[in-house]
Amino acid sequence: MHRQDAHLARHTMVSTDTNGQSNRRADFALMLTRMTIIRQVTAMATLQSTIVNTVLELARLVEPNMAAVITWYFHVPIAELGNLSARQLVEQGRTDAVVAFLKAICCGDRS
């Protein structure tokens, strides 16, 4: 059992109702639901972090200064992509467009 799971188990298994067994089952089901949600959110955050790191590493091929890359990622609108920043595009699920944009720059094909 994960540390988070054990913490949730300690706090959700206590039942104050007189139905005893029934309430413990409901509490356990609720605990399992919470654990599933926590795992899904953690997986999504990990995936998002991986995506952002990939975009930043590709951007470093264009600009080796990490401070400039971070400023670009968060604040610089990309005209070819609707004047949205790389961060906004990634948040919209348009990472492929950002990656294609960066690859075009690396290949000298930026319009």
Predicted confidence at residue 24, as pLDDT, reads 79
The residue among 31 and 77 whose pLDDT is bigger is: 77
Compute the half-sphere exposure of residue 31: CA atoms within 13 Å on the CB side of its CA: 20
CB 55, CB 73: distance < 8 Å: yes
Predicted confidence at residue 13, as pLDDT, reads 47
Q: How far apart, in whole angstroms, are the C-alpha atoms of residue 27 and residue 12? A: 6
Of 103, 89, 78, which is closest to residue 52 (Cα–Cα)? 89
The domains of the chain are located at: 3-106
Q: Quick check: 95 pLDDT over 80?
A: yes
Predicted confidence at residue 48, as pLDDT, reads 74
| Each residue's pLDDT tens digit, 41-72 | 777 777 677 888 899 999 999 999 999 999 99
**Under 8 Å CB-to-CB from 72, ≥6 apart: which residues?**
59, 63, 85, 86
| Each residue's pLDDT tens digit, 5-45 | 555 555 544 444 455 566 777 887 888 888 887 877 777 77
pTM: 0.59
Question: By three-state DSSP, how is residue 104 classified?
Answer: helix
pLDDT bucket at 78, cuts 50 / 70 / 90: very high
DSSP string, 66-88: HHHHHHHHHH--BGGGTTB-HHH
